[in-house]
Amino acid sequence: MLFAVCCYGPATADSGVFSLDPIKKSDRILILAPHPDDEIIGCAGVIQRALSQGAQVKIVYLTNGEHNQFAFMVYEKRPILLKGEFISLGKLRRSESVKSAELLGLSRQNLIFLGYPDFGTFAIFTQYWQSKVPFESMLTRISRVPYKDSFRFDAAYVPENILSDLKQILFSYKPNKIFVSHPADVNVDHKSLYLYLEVALADLRNLLPRPKLYPYLIHCVGWPMPRNYHPELSLMPPEKFTDSSINWQGLELAPAQLENKHQAILCHRSQTQSSAFYLLSFARKREIFGDFPDIELEKQASAKEKTAQFFGFSRMYVDAGVEIDQELVHLIQDKGQVSYAIWDNALLIHLEKEKNLNRRFTAVLYLFGYSYKLPFARMPKIRINTKYDKFQIFDGHKLIQAQGVELELNPRSLILKIPLEVLGNPDFILTAAKVYHGKLPADAVTFRKIVINKR
């Protein structure tokens, strides 16, 4: 079967949230935090529940969070300009995480700090595979892990090192449950950690049973509301996701656990002095977790038989000189904000737009293919920038010419056709899009995993 899915679908439950899967003594829980404090904001209740059940817990921090210049200026009450000062602040954030973890009952031996660049890991993922020159952090002007107590001190800022570190930790610890930053999070480090994890798990598929993933959301515009400390409230999914295909799960916190979470957040003084009103918004009676399901598309055996299906609507075409673009325009009108299909050995992406908004409509699409036959570093890392009815294609940071890519801009939608060969003939694709009306961002489509079922 071939089908495509949009960000918005049937509601999961009346409240939008089911109970979190029970945590058992046998669980080996891994919490992946993009920055120090994310593990507390999103998972302090999980940590306490797991420890109370006798389960094992480890936390891995992707960065030390040294890039938050505004927060540090408020904390230090002076401008922060020198490289050494940023590194010192990264060390401070590490110490705050150690303190907050110990407050919850977790020892520092269960904390692993990778030390990669705050606000740089997404650029590393998208542009620096097989690069001879590592990424250089904008503020610190360094390109290697600077913290001597990190998992791998002096490791170059390249994606192969981040992936290798994650794989080594996963293989050694063998978690059966992983709590990780959400692919819909607007913070780039949060997105990238999810992407690195998906690649790491795929690489280890024959060595490690796939753990259950529980993504937690931190950054979403206008959420959670109301701001500040409201322990009497439960955390609910953002309104934009309440009707999504995410199967949200919630963990209810006992009063003592909630107070512990409150105090653990306050341990992060470098952040709460400027953002307590926001961070304390997560100290509520419930923590929530949930991921989008995979999108499964079927690759056709023959280019003569073309099947496209969008939200249960499908038609079969026999190649007899049919104008593909016009057929597709007719086929996918009004089928949702974004949808995907396989057509003639190519991936089709349909983006809905405001009617007749052509001259001011632009989009950026990311397409990262994964093949079980090639190392991920050798696969294309495609970014497509569209402007009106024109487009440019990048592989990493290089502008390329890709045969067979087509764009159709009509009054109601944008349709892109990308041959699977351009994506490296992948087994699955990690893809996302961001849409602009003029210079203003209008919407972002979260990273989704598209699995291609080959006959």
pLDDT the model gives residue 242: 76
Which residue in this structure is represented by tokens 């959670």? Answer: 224
Q: Where are the beta strands (DSSP E) in 206-294?
A: 212-216, 249-252, 286-289
Which parts of the chain have pLDDT scores under 70? Answer: 1-15, 69-82, 300-336, 355-359, 438-443, 455
C-alpha 112/C-alpha 260 separation (Å) is: 22
Structure confidence by residue, pLDDT tens digits, 242-277: 777 899 999 999 999 999 999 999 999 999 999 999
Fold assignment, 295-454: Immunoglobulin-like (2.60.40)
pLDDT the model gives residue 140: 87
pLDDT the model gives residue 300: 59
| Tokens, residue 221 | 């515009």
* Those residues with Cβ within 8 angstroms of residue 36's Cβ, 6 or more apart along the chain or in another chain: 61, 64, 65, 93, 94, 96, 97, 268
- Structure-derived torsion over alpha carbons of residues 434, 437, 438, 441, reported in degrees to the nearest 10: -40
The DSSP secondary structure of 301-362, one letter per residue, reads S-TTEEEEEETTEEEEEE-SS--HHHHHHHHHTTS-SEEEEE-SSEEEEEEE--TT--TTEE
> What pTM was estimated for this model as a whole?
0.89
pLDDT the model gives residue 223: 96
Burial letters 212-238, b for 16+ CB under 10 A, else e: ebbbbbbbbeebbeeeebbeeeebbbb
The ranges assigned to domains in the chain are 18-289, 295-454
Q: Tell whether domain 18-289 is in CATH 3.40.50.10320.
A: yes
pLDDT the model gives residue 385: 95
